[in-house]
């Protein structure tokens, strides 16, 4: 699989879960154990936080800014061997894709929640399905 496709896909997943793709990349790149563990713990906490009824929308300014930064970072990490210009382009692409996918993800999550009957439980189930998709696709993308 092309590195640019991998970088774009992982950045898109960052629009859904800001920390999960970063944890997947850290694990795939065999980062030192404490860094992998910290990234995995933060990703797990994000998935729990997402299911809480009072969690803010992923497109709230602060959360969206984090997604843009993490999308840029994930894309840059995937293309780290390609040189400075490629990393800069990857960062811009990653941020843009993460932002667009955050807005698309909100619409999909709302639609799925409605399809599941609405309410807090339906939203939590939709979120768990979203978590699963991010983990499965992210792992496939990270492996290439």
Report if pTM > 0.75. yes
Domain boundaries, the chain: 3-143
Q: What is the mean pLDDT of residues 67-82?
A: 90
Q: Match 């800001």 to its residue by tokens.
A: 18
User: Over the chain, what is the mean pLDDT?
Assistant: 91
- End-to-end CA, the chain: 5
CA 25 to chain centre: 11
Q: Using 50, 70 and 90 to split pLDDT, how confident is the model at 43?
A: very high
Q: Are 1 and 118 in contact (CB under 8 A)?
A: no
Q: Which of 61-70, 80-89, 118-127 has the lowest mean pLDDT?
A: 80-89
Burial of 111 (0-12, 13-18, 19+ CB in 10 A): exposed
What is the pLDDT averaged over residues 97-126? 95
Mean pLDDT of 75-82: 85
Residue matched to tokens 């629009």: 15
């Amino acid at each position: 699989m092309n590195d640019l496709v991998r970088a774009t896909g992982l950045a898109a997943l960052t629009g859904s879960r800001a920390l999960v793709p970063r944890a997947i990349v850290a694990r795939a790149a065999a980062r030192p154990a404490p860094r992998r563990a910290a990234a995995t713990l933060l990703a797990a906490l994000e998935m729990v936080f997402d299911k809480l009824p009072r969690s803010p929308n992923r497109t709230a300014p602060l959360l969206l800014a984090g997604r843009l930064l993490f999308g840029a970072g994930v894309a840059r990490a995937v293309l780290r061997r390609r040189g400075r210009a490629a990393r800069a382009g990857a960062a811009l692409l990653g941020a843009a894709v993460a932002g667009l996918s955050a807005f698309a993800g909100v619409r999909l999550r709302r639609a799925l929640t409605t399809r599941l009957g609405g309410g807090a439980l339906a939203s939590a189930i939709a979120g768990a399905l979203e978590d699963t998709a991010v983990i499965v696709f992210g792992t496939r993308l990270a492996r290439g």
